[in-house]
Amino acid sequence: NSLTLVPDPVPGQMMHATVKDLSPWVEYQFRVLAINSVGVGEPSIPSEQIRTKAAPKVAPVNVSGGGGARGELVITWEPVPEEQQGGEEFGYLIAFRPLGSSTWIKTVLASADVSRYVYRNDSIAPLSPFEATVGVYNSIGEGPFSPSVAPSGVWARSVSASEVEVYWEPVLSRSTTEKIIGYEESSQQTEADRVRVTNCTALLSGLTSSTVYLISVRAQNSAGFGPSSPSFTVTTKKPPSQPPGAIEWNLTNSKIFLKWEHVKALQNESKVTGYKQVMYRQSWHGRTTILGTNKTSIELQVPFGEDYIIEITALTEGGDGISSGPIHIPKMS
């Protein structure tokens, strides 16, 4: 048990106080201490335990369904833990409707332990799509409903080797208790890749180049998350597939001047940010010289007495492009 001191002092003539910001459906005990100019007295004996109450603030998560017999609609969810129920007489509010219908069918389950509801109607055709949402209530009042639908129109595009922009249509609130406060976008490459936003676009960063990602979006309100949208496939940009071309070089004394054509990245390739030149002895690859430039030309110092090989490669944030292949530089005599 932890002891918390209410920071605001109470005047000596008062015989009551209000404690704020307590958690709902939690048992508390209270003690009173007297204080004067000399110091603080001994605390009183603890009060009786008092349990706070409030309308629920959370709704079931993982609302799903399926698996029923012919003529049955099965709705399932994860029950709300007791510490989040907020009060006595806790139960569930179920609302569902055929996809495209404007009328909700509602029912009440007066039990905190249930996690499944079956609606039976012989007119339900097999594999009929439904929208469903589950809310909660207790003796104090109703809590929020979970979002009932997934965002639509999910679309993504790769803007670089490590970034993807995601767009979607907003989810409209379907009832007075369902207010959309944000969206969670997830990349199914790993469960850790998640971004939460309050508008209808998101930027995923820190991704791997030339990698396929599956993107899905789900709405969130104060009750929790709604269903995820169908996945959208997007591939991050890759390094350029073309090597530097039209290479020319001139050797004068101990210097070599190189120039080449700029590598133009395709739509699905990363933008070229510079070029790398690798120079090494033809007889021994153990020692190399690596130089970089953001231009399409460079001047290099070439030692005497050795044959050298130079390769030119485009640089991007997604990695190195295709090498130009070996350029043989004869030894200076």
| % of the chain at pLDDT higher than 90 | 9
Are 95 and 158 in a shared domain? no
198: Cα separation from own chain's centroid: 12
Residues contacting residue 86 through CB under 8 Å, at least 6 positions apart: 24, 25, 53, 54, 55, 56, 57, 138, 140, 143
Residue that is last in its domain, among 137, 168, 183: 137
Q: What is the DSSP string of 238-269?
A: B--SS---S-EEEEETTEEEEE-PPPPP-TTB
CB 258 within 8 A of CB 276: no
**Is pLDDT larger for residue 278 or for residue 296?**
296
229 and 265 assigned to the same domain: no
Q: Tell me: pLDDT of 192 over 50.
A: no
Predicted local confidence at residue 83, as pLDDT: 82
Closest to 176 (Cα-Cα) out of 207, 129, 142: 142
**Per-residue confidence band for 285, with pLDDT thresholds at 50, 70 and 90:** low
Q: Comparing 14-28, 102-116, 179-193, 313-327, which segment has the lowest mean pLDDT?
A: 179-193
Cβ atoms of residues 151 and 167 within 8 Å: no
Query: What are 6-36's pLDDT values in tens digits?
Result: 767 788 888 888 888 887 778 899 999 888 8
Mean pLDDT of 38-62: 85
Looking at the fold, whether 256 and 306 belong to one and the same domain comes out as yes
Q: What is the mean pLDDT of residues 82-98?
A: 87
Give the containing element (helix H, strand E) for 210.
none
pLDDT exceeds cutoff 60 at 136: yes
- pLDDT of 2 reads 64
Q: Are 44 and 62 in contact (CB under 8 A)?
A: no
Residues 130 and 194 in one domain: no
> Are the beta carbons of 90 and 80 closer than 8 angstroms?
yes
Domain final residue pick, 235, 269, 303: 235
- DSSP structure string for 272-319: P-EEEEEEEETTEEEEEEEEEESSSEEEEE--TTS-EEEEEEEEETTE
Per-residue confidence (pLDDT) for residue 175, from 0 to 100 = 44
Distance from C-alpha of 117 to C-alpha of 123, rounded to nearest angstrom: 18
pLDDT of residue 235: 85
The per-residue pLDDT for 91 is: 93
Q: What is the CATH number of the domain that holds 286?
A: 2.60.40.10
Q: For the segment 257-276, what is each residue's pLDDT rounded down to a tens digit?
A: 888 888 888 888 888 888 88
The answer to whether position 147 is within a domain reads: no
Do 125 and 163 sit in the same domain of this protein? no
- Residue 293 shares a structural domain with residue 267: yes
Q: Does 65 reside within a domain?
A: yes
Whether residue 175 is contained in a domain is answered as yes
273 with 221, same domain: the answer is: no
* Entry pTM: 0.49
Q: Give the pLDDT score at 47.
A: 92
**315 and 259, same structural domain?**
yes
Phi, psi values for residue 153, rounded to 5°: 65, 30
Q: What is the pLDDT of residue 250?
A: 84
How high is the mean pLDDT of the chain? 80
Residue 242 lies in a domain: no
Place of tokens 């949402």: 133
Closest CA to 312 of 283, 272, 252, 266: 272
Residue 241 belongs to a domain: no
pLDDT class for 109, splitting at 50, 70, 90? very high
Query: Does the pLDDT at position 130 exceed 90?
Result: no
**Domain boundary pick from 212, 235, 258:** 235
Domain assignment present for 165: yes
Compute the chain's Rg from CA coordinates: 34
- Residues 6+ away with beta carbon under 8 Å from 262: 272, 296
Query: What would the mean pLDDT of 36-45 be, rounded to a whole number?
Result: 90
Q: Which tokens hold the place of 19?
A: 């404690």
Residue 253: count of CB within 10 angstroms of its CB:
9
Host domain of residue 2? 1-52
The reply to whether 161 and 227 lie within a common domain is yes
Tens digit of each residue's pLDDT (9 = 90 or more) over 200-231? 888 888 888 888 888 888 777 655 566 778 88
Which range, 33-37, 61-65, 160-164, 192-196, has the best average confidence (pLDDT)?
A: 33-37
| pLDDT value for 286 | 55
pLDDT of residue 143: 81
Whether 143 is covered by a domain: the verdict is: no
> Is the residue at 221 inside a domain?
yes
Whether the pLDDT of residue 71 is over 60: the answer is yes
| Domain count along the chain | 4
- Are 45 and 70 within one domain? no
